[in-house]
Structure 1
Amino acid sequence: MIPGITYLNWAGLAPLTLRSYLHSLIAPELMGNILLPNWVKRVEKLREDVALWLGTHSEQVAFVPSTSVALTIAAHSLTWQNSDTILYPANDFPANVLPWQSLDRFGVQAQAVQDWTQPWDKPVKMVSISTVDFTTGIEQPWQQVVQQANAKGIWTCVDAIQSAGVKPSWCPEIDFWCAGTQKWLASGLGLALLVLSPKVLSRLSPPFPTWLGLNQPPLVQSGMSKTARGWELSWASPQAIARFETNLKYFQASGWENISQGVRQRRDYLHERLLEMGWKVVSCPERWSGLVCFDPGLGQAESIVKDGYKKRIITAQRGDYVRISPHIFNSMSSLARTVDWLWKCKLEYR
């Protein structure tokens, strides 16, 4: 992807593919309103392509600026009452923590869950869970949690940013499915997907309506769209849309199963080599994601990551752990080079 650099932080901010970057240079605003009608059609076609990929309907797909915005929309969609409870994962990324904690102004109790297998000991109004623990790379029991909540009539929200593009992470029982496109979908900043359930569209109203969500913009008397488009906050970034449009076509042509298998092959290779070296790997090959994380001990994670940057091997530090996240764009030879470097780190930092 980047000449001379082994980039292994796709779970952070992915580098852009050259093709997607070049496609994003042709801005629809270049000729003012002249190109706008065709651009709107392209956005609607992309909405249909996203629905086809996930197995849902285009009417349920909204484009918003980021995962944080999608989660904030979800948090403000319900009519909260004093003492209502929302569950979210303990020690999760702040994007899936702050929207729920901010509801304390309504008297809502935002409760962090350490163990999802434990029974919920009080009435719950909403459950929000990430598909992957961003520090360990372990896939969370999001499917079981969604099923349990759905059976109890509890609203569900899923942050799927660490799964979207790697393995299936959507199911019809999810009320709010949120995923930015800047990680495994390699489409840069400025775009996230918000997929709403039919229950949301029929029973709730968008918390931040804008004129773009009208049935016939800008006619206020036309009323708000009953589709997910009515939940969008603004024009989607044309550059981000163009990048995602390009990459989605590439992934679809490559086959999503091939993408998933390719990522798993690479993470399994690194996982096994790390174990052979004697590193303490905290990720799980059964509950796998594209992330492989290990604990070097003695607070050495920062030093190892910095050393990698000097060697043009890009990883990430998450707390006490070193996080490695390969994609199909990484060649096996580049991973072998990474393994050689990690062997040297093992000798230096033991």
Structure 2
Amino acid sequence: MACSSCSTGKDGQPRGCKNNGTCGTDGCNKLTVFDWLSNMSLPNGQKPFDCVEVRFKNSRKEFFRNVDNLPLSIGDIVATQAKSGHDVGMVTLTGELVKVQMKRKKVSPEDDTVPKIYRKATQRDIDVWQKCRNKEEEIKKRSREIAIALKLEMKLSDVEFQGDGSKATFYYTAEERVDFRQLIKDMAKAFGIRIEMRQIGYRQEAQRLGGVGSCGRELCCSTWLTDFRSVSTASARYQQLALNPQKLAGQCGKLKCCLNYELDMYLEALKDFPSQDSKLLTKKGIAFCQKTDIFKETLWFSYKDDPATWHALNKEQVLEILEKNKKNEKIASLEEYAEENVVEEKMVFENVVGQDSLTRFDRPKKKRKKKRRKNRSKTTSNA
């Protein structure tokens, strides 16, 4: 997705809106919402819901009450109430869907403490807002230099200015508790603004910064994922993935969120499977489970004395053997059951090239010249 200002120029070079996915046209924004109720009219006598959802830099969204009943639509730039001064953001949702989102975020629609919208942003508000946004990268670089000079064990990942430019919020990550009182004093003296420090997790840092994952797509956390559930190595074990930290970790350094996407399907399929800790009692000895294939419904067992030799059994066979073991009955061997699952693979040879000749692209040989040379030799001999 890209807006008109993010597309390429005439010479093929990317122009870019330089807003990191937060441009004002709402074409390449993070967590863009589709209002599927926008074309539906309200019942007679019902007033539209007076709260709207406003998005600020990156994925920060808040709810505001439209006290003055301003005609707002998705994409409008508005000046909103802040703790001190005002902030500038973009409307991302209006109407009844805002009520649904407020209930989802556990915000009461009747709450009187919901901040209000002052007005639609004027050109002066937008100019001040853009001017502050352009200074963020330079201030972030200088603040990192100040933190390094103070030898603080923290990483400043992002800076967000308030719409009127009176305050800046610094987002940082740290392993332990950090005493940044001197840092705030130095930054307030250097920048001449009020400073607010906010600690975030490593997943929230990746959400704000964005990027491309190993799948080749944009990060889920920076495009559509809103809640971060805990991911453990058990998710990888259930899906029989190799516990390789380099492959299982995302750009945040934590386990990938996508490990939970198919976990429910695997857990549901494993309900009918025998436990991997199950043991099969045979006359040749005890057999242990080595591997399970959920899709093929196959389990591989090996004897305790010969762990290198695996025998493939299907799910029904294993359950049958376990039922016999419960009755104190031992089977003769695993080989009897494994022989039933052996399928002879027939080698099928196919012409991968098809009916085309391998020399179809070669230039045809010129045979006419040879005939002419033969005719010349015959005429000389006759003479």
Query: Higher relative contact order at CA 8 Å, sep ≥6: structure 1 or structure 2?
Result: 1
Normalising by structure 1, we get a TM-score of: 0.23
Larger radius of gyration: 2
Say which structure is richer in helix.
1
